[in-house]
Amino acid sequence: MNKKTLILSGMGLNCERETAYACEKSGANEIEVLHTLRFLEGTTHLKDYDFVVLIGGFLDGDYLGSARVGANRFKYGISESVNLKEQFLDFIESGKLILGICNGFQLLIKLGLLPDESQAFSDQVVSLTQNRKGRFENRWVNLKINPQSNCVFTENLEHLYLPVRHGEGRLVVTDSEVQRSLVDQNLITMFYADKHGEATDVYPYNPNGSWNNIAAISNKKGNIMGLMPHPEAYNHYTNHPQWTRMTFTEEDGEGLSIFKNAYQYLDQL
């Protein structure tokens, strides 16, 4: 099939080039980078795409809370004729893919698309807030993949090593029922891990203090995932902080495995 990818940029989001490159290297047939305001105007429709990537950066300068203003743009729009809630729900129901990275993860949370899209554009049941240390974290982290998850993006993966760059990445879940659903339904797709690959709450392995050491979650269908680490930033072995001291058997960086899984799934959709 024609795997058409939409990458939304602008408003402080600035990872569109690395993300487009990661998609291209992983099997995308057609990639469109579109300014978010153009999308909100209704000049394009989600039904014309197969994969939507909400990227990271410094959305609205990161001044007004993690993606709160961005989510309000999507909820209330700039054109009364555009029904984004309906577009997103139809897109998800059709089995197509959404990936939210850093600011994009924050946006999915604030929109209620994660962890349960039935709450979309109305209720927010979890939150992403300021790191426990109260400062911006720019470091590489080990990630343990949940083998029980049915998430498209993490299929057949066990561990990843990716960079984080965020000031508000701590996942907070205060409702005990929501906590149980995240665990029992295996909606947690990645955990922050120590150097041995085991989930941990110890800083700096867990850079933000997320509840249950969560680095990424998905919806029940497994076709939406949000994560704080940046897979697009490890697209080549030379991105690795130790690339001059280590021997690599592959040119591709580990982050591409997430995008490769996406396009392999879309090939079969």
Active site residues: 102, 230, 232
Helices assigned H by DSSP within the chain: 16-26, 36-40, 68-76, 84-93, 103-110, 176-184, 256-268
Counting every residue written for the chain, the total comes to 269
The Cα–Cα gap between 12 and 30 comes to: 24
Q: Under a CB-based contact definition with an 8 Å cutoff, are residues 108 and 226 in contact? A: yes
Q: Which residues contact 208 (CB under 8 A, 6 or more apart)?
A: 131, 132, 133, 137, 164, 166, 169, 170, 171, 228
**In this structure, what token pair is assigned to residue 68?**
């709160």
Q: Residue 166: which of 192, 198, 185, 138 has the closest Cα?
A: 138
Strands (E), the chain: 4-9, 30-35, 51-54, 97-101, 127-129, 137-145, 159-166, 170-172, 188-193, 214-218, 224-227
Side-chain half-sphere CA neighbours of 72 within 13 A: 7
The Cα–Cα gap between 72 and 46 comes to: 19
Q: How far is CA 217 from CA 19, 38, 194, 202, in A?
A: 20, 28, 19, 20
